[in-house]
């Protein structure tokens, strides 16, 4: 594989090359900004992002929706890029980095939450692909079995994920090219029937219950949901610049284009006078046919492969190299993902699922960013690779302060979402509360370090 040869040229020995394939860190990357950008581009050219865009129109005008999608994506991408840069600087995956703030054992809690969330993404996206394939098969043959097709779609994903990051780096750019081409064709169909002025003139329906701040909150939360994989893939960047530029541009372009496409598709259907059913792939596929179905299917293959790899990488990095094997873990989690893909009722709970993602991980990333960039001054040393003891052991492996602030953040998010709805949404307030509390704790207890050495990639020996 080209990636293995490149890693070898970086003076990694054969065991380290195997680790790179299996996702065990720390790893030294060699991918350019373009390659990182293409990986992130393919990742978020996905049906869930597209269908999220269908939620906002006609609740808001088409033009306002596009503006909010752009603004929310840029704000959310800043978190994704900063956490991803931690992976580039250290070579560690996202959940391995959480050991720095939460403790060597405390990271078990963040990893468990990560696997739960990523598994949920696998299920939702496999179901959407399965429902879409089922619709086409039913139209052609009369046979209908959405559960079977959902499981088949996820089985293909598990097979792709077994090839590890090297396979992903090779496949994702081609999937992105195909998906973008078909998406452009769909936009051509929409704007060949209606002018831009027609879309702009489409009135907002306030009875839909959407406000500008709620839409902005959902868009930012979407970026947070992707941040769980940011360091996973940005650690394969050859430099900080490559990781920051590649992931930033790739994520922003893919999200704005895909979510904007969803908003445009639903606006097109409103102009057509069709019945509107947001977050339903069958409804929009019936309007655009096989080309849109192809986008949905390929996007799930691209994205769920990354999600599966991220889950496996999170688990194998809990212990030193060799303790938890990649292939058995991939097969075990793959089996769970196949079972869950048959639970079609989860599609009705997508917005609640997205809220859960935000509640669990907004505080985690706020704490991680403060800990790495401010408290530890951008430096984690090799103690973070130890199974126990050292600087990141805290109290029996747990940083009680970080875990407590995490809990406060989760509670704050739930309260601001369901009990005392915030006029500006829950995402930004929860992030600020968690960030300020952890910063205040570190300042009060003297944990903010000074005169730290410059950043050292942890793939380098002591």
pLDDT, one tens digit per residue, over 109-130 is 998 888 888 888 888 888 888 9
Is 10 inside any structural domain?
no
- 451 falls in which pLDDT band (50, 70, 90)? confident
- The pTM of this model reads 0.84
Mean pLDDT value across the chain? 84
Is 461 inside any structural domain?
no
- 24 falls in which pLDDT band (50, 70, 90)? low
Is 51 inside any structural domain?
yes
In this model, does residue 14 exceed pLDDT 60? no
Maximum separation of any 2 CA atoms in the chain, in Å: 70
Q: What pLDDT, on a 0 to 100 scale, did the predictor assign at position 322?
A: 60
Q: What pLDDT, on a 0 to 100 scale, did the predictor assign at position 25?
A: 60
Is 8 inside any structural domain?
no
Is 350 inside any structural domain?
yes
- 2 falls in which pLDDT band (50, 70, 90)? very low
| pLDDT above 90: percentage of residues in the chain | 41
In this model, does residue 11 exceed pLDDT 70? no
Give the least confident one: 272-281, 285-294, 413-422, 431-440: 272-281
| Whole-number Å distance between alpha carbons of 287 and 204 | 22
Cα-Cα-Cα-Cα dihedral of 230, 234, 240, 244, to 10°?
-50
In this model, does residue 412 exceed pLDDT 90? yes
8 A C-beta contact, residue 341 and residue 148: no
Instruction: Tokens 């096989």: give the residue.
Output: 290
| Whole-number Å distance between alpha carbons of 450 and 42 | 40
In this model, does residue 435 exceed pLDDT 70? yes
Give the least confident one: 71-75, 265-269, 439-443: 265-269
| Whole-number Å distance between alpha carbons of 269 and 283 | 9
Encode pLDDT of 386-404 as tens digits: 888 999 999 999 999 999 9
Which residues make beta-bridge pairs with 398?
A: 395
353 against 106, higher pLDDT: 106
140 against 177, higher pLDDT: 140
On the question of a cis peptide bond just before residue 58, with omega within 30 degrees of 0, the verdict is yes
8 A C-beta contact, residue 382 and residue 449: no
- 4 falls in which pLDDT band (50, 70, 90)? very low
8 A C-beta contact, residue 57 and residue 190: no
| Whole-number Å distance between alpha carbons of 370 and 372 | 6
Backbone angles phi, psi at 294, to 5 degrees: -65, -40
Query: Cα separations (Å) of 352 from 303, 338, 341?
Result: 21, 22, 18
Q: What pLDDT, on a 0 to 100 scale, did the predictor assign at position 6?
A: 37
| Whole-number Å distance between alpha carbons of 449 and 118 | 34
Q: What is the Cα 318 distance to its own chain's centre?
A: 20
Name the residue range of residue 304's domain: 30-444
User: Structure tokens of 354?
Assistant: 């997205």
How many domains are there within the chain?
1
User: Structure tokens of 66?
Assistant: 């596009």
SS3 labels along the chain: CHHHHHHHHCCCCHHHHHHHHHCCCCCCCCECHHHHHHHHHHHHCCHHHHHHHCCCCCCCCHHHHHHHHHHHHHHHHHHHHHHHHHHHHHCCCHHHHCHHHHCCCHHHHHHHHHHHHHHHHHHHHHHHHHHHHHHHHHHHHCCCCHHHHHHHHHHHHHHHHCCHHHHHHHHHHHHHHHHHHHHHHHHHHHHHHCCHHHHHCCCCCHHHCCCHHHHHHHHHHHHHHHHCCHHHHHCCECCHHHHHHHHHHHHHHHHHHHHHHHHHHHHHHHHHCCCCCCCCHHHHHHHHCHHHHHHHHHHHHHHHHHHHHHHHHHHHCCCCCCCCCHHHHHHHHHHHHHHHCCCHHHHHHHHHHHHHHHHHHHHHHHHHHHHHHHHCCCCCCHHHHCCCCCCCCCECCECHHHHHHHHHHHHHHHHHHHHCCCCCCCHHHHHHHHHHHHHHHHHHCCCCCCCCCCCCCCCCCC
Q: What pLDDT, on a 0 to 100 scale, did the predictor assign at position 27?
A: 85
Cα-Cα-Cα-Cα dihedral sign, residues 139, 140, 146, 149? negative
Q: What pLDDT, on a 0 to 100 scale, did the predictor assign at position 10?
A: 38
Cα-Cα-Cα-Cα dihedral sign, residues 349, 315, 253, 78? positive
| Whole-number Å distance between alpha carbons of 39 and 23 | 16
Cα-Cα-Cα-Cα dihedral sign, residues 267, 268, 273, 279? negative
Q: What pLDDT, on a 0 to 100 scale, did the predictor assign at position 46?
A: 81
Which residues make beta-bridge pairs with 395?
A: 398
Is 310 inside any structural domain?
yes
Is 22 inside any structural domain?
no
Is 7 inside any structural domain?
no
Encode pLDDT of 310-340 as tens digits: 888 778 877 766 677 777 888 888 888 888 8
Q: What pLDDT, on a 0 to 100 scale, did the predictor assign at position 7?
A: 35
Q: Exposed e or buried b for every residue in 45-60, given b needs 16+ CB within 10 A? A: bbbbbbbbbbbbbbbb
What's 66's domain CATH number?
1.10.4160.10
Instruction: Tokens 């949905």: give the residue.
Output: 296
Q: What pLDDT, on a 0 to 100 scale, did the predictor assign at position 168?
A: 56
| Whole-number Å distance between alpha carbons of 325 and 312 | 9
């Amino acid at each position: 594989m080209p990636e293995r040869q490149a890693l070898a040229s970086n003076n990694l020995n054969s065991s380290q090359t195997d680790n790179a394939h299996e996702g065990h860190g720390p790893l030294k990357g060699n991918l350019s900004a373009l390659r990182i950008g293409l990986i992130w581009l393919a990742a978020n050219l996905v049906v869930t992002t597209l269908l999220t865009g269908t939620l906002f129109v006609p609740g808001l005008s088409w033009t306002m929706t596009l503006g909010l999608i752009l603004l929310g994506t840029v704000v959310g991408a800043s978190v994704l890029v900063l956490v991803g840069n931690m992976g580039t600087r250290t070579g560690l995956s996202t959940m391995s980095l959480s050991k720095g703030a939460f403790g060597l054992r405390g990271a078990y809690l963040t990893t468990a939450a990560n696997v739960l969330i990523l598994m949920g993404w696998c299920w939702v996206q496999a179901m959407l692909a399965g429902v879409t394939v089922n619709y086409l098969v039913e139209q052609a043959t009369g046979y209908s079995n959405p559960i079977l097709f959902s499981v088949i779609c996820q089985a293909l994903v598990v097979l792709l994920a077994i090839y590890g990051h090297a396979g992903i780096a090779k496949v994702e750019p081609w999937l992105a090219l195909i998906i973008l081409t078909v998406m452009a064709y769909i936009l051509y169909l929409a704007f060949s029937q209606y002018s831009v002025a027609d879309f702009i003139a489409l009135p907002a329906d306030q009875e839909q219950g959407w406000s500008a701040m709620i839409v902005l909150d959902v868009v930012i939360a979407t970026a947070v949901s992707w941040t769980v994989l940011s360091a996973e893939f940005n650690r394969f960047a050859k430099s900080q610049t490559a990781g920051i530029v590649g992931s930033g541009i790739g994520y922003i372009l893919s999200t704005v284009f895909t979510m904007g496409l969803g908003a445009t598709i639903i606006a097109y259907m409103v102009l057509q006078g069709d019945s509107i059913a947001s977050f339903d792939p069958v409804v929009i596929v019936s309007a655009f046919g096989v080309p849109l179905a192809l986008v949905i299917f390929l996007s799930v293959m691209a994205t769920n492969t990354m999600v599966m790899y991220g889950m496996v990488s999170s688990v194998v990095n809990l212990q030193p190299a060799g303790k938890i094997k990649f292939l058995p873990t991939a097969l075990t989690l793959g089996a769970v993902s196949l079972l869950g893909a048959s639970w079609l009722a989860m599609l009705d709970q997508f917005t609640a699922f997205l809220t859960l993602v935000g509640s669990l991980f907004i505080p985690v990333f706020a704490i991680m960013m403060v800990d790495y960039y401010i408290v530890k001054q951008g430096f984690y040393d090799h103690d973070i690779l130890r199974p126990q003891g050292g600087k990141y052991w805290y109290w029996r492996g747990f940083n009680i302060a970080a875990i407590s602030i995490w809990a406060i953040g989760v509670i704050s998010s739930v309260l601001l979402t369901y009990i005392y709805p915030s006029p500006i949404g829950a995402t930004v307030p929860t992030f600020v509360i968690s960030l300020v509390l952890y910063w205040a704790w570190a300042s009060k207890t003297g944990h903010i370090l000074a005169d730290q050495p410059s950043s050292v990639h942890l793939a380098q020996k002591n």
